[in-house]
């Protein structure tokens, strides 16, 4: 059974690569979009629009850097715990991958907050006037949606109970 995502160095490498992708896209946004008009990719639907977000998702918690530091430390600690106790069974590969996406998303935005005091956002769905977002936000949002689908439709209750029991330290 292939368990490559169970190896710590693979988790770290994949997380770092995803963070780099996030940071490169934000760097490109700063270079080509900052101080410019929005770049329309699909008229009335989707555009690239530079925004310096000093809060969390949807502009909440403006200027709360300490809160974000604590949240980032919590997410990192939870990820270490998660990877330490997650089943190495191949069936749980999707959940392990989602954990990598959560970690990369949290660190991608946390790096911006502490390096710049804001997060660079630049994707904008004008069709539905959706809040402007970035690649790290995509990692977390898509990961959350996929996790919900997996829990609701893919994993059986017994499998989820076994995972919870393992995390609680029970052996059955």
Per-block average pLDDT, block size 10, for the chain (172 residues)? Answer: 73 95 98 95 95 74 73 83 80 89 93 91 94 94 94 87 70 47
Per-residue pLDDT, 2: 57
Read off the pTM.
0.85
1 falls within a domain: no
- Domain tally for the chain? 1
Per-residue pLDDT, 114: 85
Contact 65, 113 (CB under 8 A): yes
Contact 89, 163 (CB under 8 A): no
The one catalytic residue in 129, 137, 157, 165 is 137
The one catalytic residue in 22, 89, 112, 121 is 121
Collapse the DSSP code of 25 into the 3-class scheme (helix H, G, I; strand E, B; otherwise coil) and give the result. Answer: helix
Write out the residue range of the structural domain in which residue 100 sits.
8-166
97 falls within a domain: yes
Per-residue pLDDT, 117: 87
DSSP class of residue 92?
Answer: G
172 falls within a domain: no
Residue 129 a catalytic site member: no
Query: E strand or H helix at 52, and its extent?
Result: strand 46-53
Residue 121 a catalytic site member: yes
């Amino acid at each position: 059974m292939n368990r490559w995502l169970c190896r710590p160095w693979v988790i770290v490498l994949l997380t770092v690569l995803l963070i780099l992708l996030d940071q490169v896209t934000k760097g490109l946004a700063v270079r080509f979009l900052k101080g410019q008009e929005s770049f329309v990719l699909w008229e009335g639907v989707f555009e690239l629009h530079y925004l310096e977000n000093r809060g969390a998702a949807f502009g909440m918690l403006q200027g709360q850097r300490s809160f974000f530091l604590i949240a980032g430390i919590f997410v990192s600690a939870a990820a270490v715990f998660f990877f330490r106790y997650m089943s190495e069974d191949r069936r749980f590969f999707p959940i392990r991958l989602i954990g990598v996406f959560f970690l990369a998303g949290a660190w991608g935005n946390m790096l911006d907050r502490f390096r710049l005091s804001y997060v660079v956002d630049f994707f904008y769905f004008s069709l539905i006037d959706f809040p402007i977002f970035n690649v790290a936000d995509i990692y977390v949002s898509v990961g959350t949606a996929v996790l919900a689908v997996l829990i609701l439709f893919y994993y059986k209750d017994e499998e989820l109970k076994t995972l919870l029991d393992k995390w609680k330290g029970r052996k059955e």
